[in-house]
Structure 1
C-alpha cells in the first residue's frame, strides 16, 4: 500500500500484514479483519528519532488509515491547549493529562462504520469531579460550559439521547442550591452525577449504573463511589504524587469505557479491530501522563485492548529505559517482543528509516 512515506511498508502493508494491521486487527483504509498479533495485550509502540524522520506524518497517516473503521484519537503533547489552563480555570483543577483525556475521548466517541458513538461515563464522572474542585467561585455560565463538554462524553446515537442536557440541568441545579454556602461544591456535584446515572431502565442505563459504581475500588473509598470521586477530586487538587495517582485512575477509566464498548456479543459484532490512540511528542507532560499509567497498569496485570502508537523526540527516555527496540523493517512480518516485569518493558521502541530526499 502506498502511503507517500518512504520505507513504511512494514507498518502499513496488507500482504503480508504489516505492524499496524497485525496489532489493530484491520487492514488500513478497509473494514477487513486481520489476525491479531499479541492477542492478549499489545506493545505500546513508540517511534523514535530526531526531527525530519516523518514520525508525526506516520501518526497522521495511521489516523487517516483507520478513522471511520475503528475509534481513533490523535493527541499532540506540544499542542498549545496542553500548555496551561484557560484563564478562567483554576490551576489546581486542571492538568495537561486531564485535558488530553478529554480531547482523546471526544475523538474516540465519534461513530465508525457499522457502530455508533462510544460513551465515556467512567471518565466523565471522574473529570466532572475534578472540574467541580474549581467551581467554588459560583461562575454559573463557565460551570455550565465546562459541565456540558464533559457530560457530552456520555451521548450516543442509539440511546440516552439528551442525557447530557438532563444531567447538566441536574448538576447546575445542585450548584445553584448550594450557592448559599461557602467553599467547594464537589460533593453536591458528585451526588447529582451519580443520581443522573442511576435513573432510567434498560440495558443502556444498567451500563451507566455499572459505570457509576466502577470507582468503588478506589483506595480508601470503602466501597462508596461518592467517597471515591470525592477523594479523586481532592487528590487531583493536591498536586504532586497525589495528582498522578488520580490521573492514573482517570486514564484507567477511559480504557475501561473503551473495553465496555466492546463487551458482549452484540457490541463485538458491530465493532471490528481495536481502538487506536496516537500520541505525538509523547515526551511532553500530556504524553507522558498517558503513557506511564498505561505501562504501569499493564505491568500490574490490569489489561486493556487499546493499541497505542506514539512518537518520541529522540532515541530514549527515562520512562522507557527497559523498552524493547526494533528497526521498523524488522517488524514487517512479526514483532519479536516479549514484555518483562518492569512497566517500561511493556513498550516497544521502533526506529523509523531515514526519509529518502528523492521521494
Structure 2
C-alpha cells in the first residue's frame, strides 16, 4: 500500500501499523483504531532531507489520509501569507506565527465524521487582543474584516450558530462608542470581548467565560483576564523576546482549545484519534514559531495530545540539536523514542530514503499519484 510514496510504508502501512497510525491512533484513509505507541506524549516528528526528496508529498499524503476523520491542518512556512503582513496590516500587530495559528485553526475547526466543528475561544481572544494593537478609530471597515475572521474561530455547528456575527457587532459598537480620539483601542476591544464572554448562563457561555479566565495566569496579570490580554498585546507589539513570549501563549491557547474538544466521555467517544498539525518548511519563521514553543512547553510538563509532522530542509537545525534520529524505515514497527530533559529532545528527526531516478513523486492538485 502507498507504494507511490516510494518506500514510505514505514509511515503509511496498515499492517503492521505504520508510524502515522501509531501516533494518530487511526489507520490512514479509514476509521480503524490503532493503539498509541506514545500514549502520554507523542514525539514532534520532523522529516529531514534536501530538495526533491518528497517531504512535501508526504505531508500532503498525510493530510489526504486523515482529512474528514480527525482534525487536521497543513501550513507551508514559505507561503507568502506567512512571510509579510498584508498591505493594510501594521507590522507591529502581525507576525508569521499569528498568521500560522489563524490559518491552522481555520482548518482544524472543520467538522469530521461523527463530530462537529471545533471552537477556538482562547486563541481568538488572544488574537483579537493582538490585532487590536494595530487598529485606530479611522479604520472601522478593516477592523470589522479582521475581527470577523478571528471571531469566526469560535463558531461551531450548533451552540454558536450566529454567535460570531452578534459578538462582532457588540465588539465594534463598543469600540466606536469608547473612542474619543486617535489613541490606542486595545483596552476598549478587550473590555468588549470580556463583556460578551461573561454574558449568558448557557453551557456555551460558560465555555467562553473559561476561555477569558484562562489568561489570568499570564505573568504580571495579577489574576486579571483583562490585564492579561492587555499585557499579551503589549508584549506582542514590543517585538523581540517579548513577542516570542506572547506567541508562546498563543500557541498554548490553540492546543488548550484542542484539548477542550476532546474533554469528557461524550466528546472523546465522537472524536477518534488525535488532531494533526502538518508544517512544511518548518525552518521558516512561521514553522519555528510553532515548533519551539511546543517543544519548550512539553519539556516544562505542559502536555498536549496533538500530533505534529513537519518537513525540514536539510538534516539538522539548532532547535533540534538533541532530537532523536532515525531513518524512516527504522520506525516501521517502533521508534524507541524516549524524550530527555531538553526541549529539542521532544522531537524525532526522521531522514527519508533517497528517491530513485524513476521514483520522483508526481503531484496533481495536491494528491500524490
Report the TM-score, using the length of structure 2 for normalisation: 0.96
Q: Write out aligned runs for 1:48-197 (5 A).
A: 48-197=48-197
Give the 3-state SS of the residue equivalent to 2:215 in structure 1: helix
- Number of the residue aligned with 1:301: 301
Residues 277-306 of structure 1, C-alpha deviation per residue, up to 9 Å, x if partnerless? 000000000000000000000000000000
Give the 3-state SS of the residue equivalent to 1:117 in structure 2: coil
Q: Write out aligned runs for 1:17-36 (5 A).
A: 17-36=17-36
Question: Shift of residue 202 of structure 1?
Answer: 2.4
- Number of the residue aligned with 1:264: 264
Q: What is the aligned length? A: 359
| Alpha carbons 1:5, 1:355 under 8 Å: kept | no
Question: Shift of residue 204 of structure 1?
Answer: 2.1
Q: Write out aligned runs for 1:283-298 (5 A).
A: 283-298=283-298
| CA distance in structure 2 between the partners assigned to 1:251 and 1:15 by the alignment | 35
Quote the RMSD (CA, aligned, Å): 0.9
| Alpha carbons 2:216, 2:223 under 8 Å: kept | yes
Report the TM-score, using the length of structure 1 for normalisation: 0.99
| CA distance in structure 2 between the partners assigned to 1:98 and 1:280 by the alignment | 16
Q: Identify unmatched segments of 5+ residues in structure 1.
A: none
- Number of the residue aligned with 1:217: 217
Give the 3-state SS of the residue equivalent to 1:234 in structure 2: helix
Residues 192-234 of structure 1, C-alpha deviation per residue, up to 9 Å, x if partnerless? 1111111222222211111111001000100000000000000
| Alpha carbons 1:138, 1:179 under 8 Å: kept | no
Residues 319-341 of structure 1, C-alpha deviation per residue, up to 9 Å, x if partnerless? 11110100000000011111111
| CA distance in structure 2 between the partners assigned to 1:294 and 1:270 by the alignment | 26
| Alpha carbons 2:281, 2:311 under 8 Å: kept | yes
- Number of the residue aligned with 2:273: 273
More off after superposition, 175-184 vs 164-173: 175-184
1:339 aligns with 2:342: no
Give the 3-state SS of the residue equivalent to 2:5 in structure 1: coil
Give the 3-state SS of the residue equivalent to 1:98 in structure 2: helix
| Alpha carbons 1:3, 1:61 under 8 Å: kept | no
| CA distance in structure 2 between the partners assigned to 1:269 and 1:105 by the alignment | 22
| CA distance in structure 2 between the partners assigned to 1:209 and 1:335 by the alignment | 41
| CA distance in structure 2 between the partners assigned to 1:321 and 1:2 by the alignment | 31
| Alpha carbons 2:175, 2:192 under 8 Å: kept | no
Give the 3-state SS of the residue equivalent to 1:338 in structure 2: coil
Question: Shift of residue 155 of structure 1?
Answer: 0.2
| CA distance in structure 1 between the partners assigned to 2:94 and 2:320 by the alignment | 26
- Number of the residue aligned with 1:204: 204
| CA distance in structure 1 between the partners assigned to 2:138 and 2:272 by the alignment | 44
Give the 3-state SS of the residue equivalent to 1:28 in structure 2: coil
Question: Shift of residue 182 of structure 1?
Answer: 2.9
Question: Shift of residue 83 of structure 1?
Answer: 1.1
Distance 1:124 1:3, change over 3 A: farther
Give the 3-state SS of the residue equivalent to 1:350 in structure 2: strand
